[in-house]
Amino acid sequence: MAKEFRWMGKTEEEIKKMDLKEFMQVTSSRTRRTLTRGIPDTHKRLLKKVMDGDKNIKTQCRDMIILPAMLGSIIRIYNGKEYFPVTITGEMLGHYLGEFSMTRKSVTHSAAGIGATRSSKAVSAR
């Protein structure tokens, strides 16, 4: 039997019904301070798209805080090269969108080129 998800003692349905003031009381101080200062127009436009139920939401607002109204939606977040799709879950509440779309890839090295090591000098280039 799967365990029911709870965030701060509330179920997912209760979280979606939370208003902004209620949400601010249970988040961290940094998140609370950011939300108290007001939501910028770019974030308001993105939030309006989420509330309307748009399916193809693309954004470059990596500094937007994930709010309860966004739960269950799929948002494509720009990482500097492409829009990376992210499904918003309950564990993401209070975090920033940019935390879930990495801007750097891990380094993967291939084999050394010809002449790069002493042993490769003996190998012919043909």
Backbone angles phi, psi at 65, to 5 degrees: -80, 140
Confidence label for 121 from pLDDT (cuts 50, 70 and 90): low
pTM comes to 0.78
pLDDT for 82 equals 93
User: Going by CATH, does the domain composed of 12-103 fall within 3.30.860.10?
Assistant: yes
Residues 6+ apart with CB under 8 A from 66: 88, 92, 93, 94, 95, 96, 97
The structural domains of the chain, with segments of one domain joined by +, span 12-103
- How high is the pLDDT of residue 53? 86
Q: Which tens digit of pLDDT belongs to each residue from 4-48?
A: 777 777 778 888 888 888 888 888 899 999 989 998 999 999 999
**Facing residues of 87 across strands?**
74
